[in-house]
Amino acid sequence: MSLTVVLRRQARREFDEAADWYEQQRSGLGARFTAAVQQVFDEIAANPQRYAEVHRDVREGLVKGFPYCVYYHEQSAQIVILAVFHTSRDPSVWQARA
């Protein structure tokens, strides 16, 4: 049974902005990014324990083919996405959301 995935406002904004940026770089790249992130969401929903804990109870799922990670935790039988985060950014930004 898959859990519901809920994105916090900041995570949704990061996801959308990154997809838009990739699409501006090359047509179709934004869609590839979106599909890669959605694959991580699907894996998390199916098996929340799949990825390692990296900060408190927050886990990190790597986005294949892109320098992004999905940071999440399980809360009230759902998955809460805290960040869709570029790996070169300061991690204290997403850690403050935990």
pTM confidence score: 0.95
Q: Average of pLDDT values for 28-34?
A: 98
Percentage of the chain with pLDDT > 90? 95
Matching CATH number, 4-95, of 3.30.2310.20, 1.10.10.10, 3.60.15.10, 3.40.50.450: 3.30.2310.20
Q: What's the token pair of residue 33?
A: 């990014």
Give the three-state DSSP class for 52: coil
pLDDT category, 16, cuts 50, 70, 90? very high
Residues 6 or more apart from 51 whose CB is under 8 A from it?
A: 44, 59, 60, 61, 62
Please name the residues in contact with 46: beta carbons below 8 A apart, sequence gap of 6 or more. 2
Confidence of residue 71 (pLDDT cuts 50, 70, 90): very high
Paired tokens of 35: 């599909």
What is the pLDDT, as a whole number, of residue 45? 96
- Whether 1 has a pLDDT exceeding 80, the answer reads no
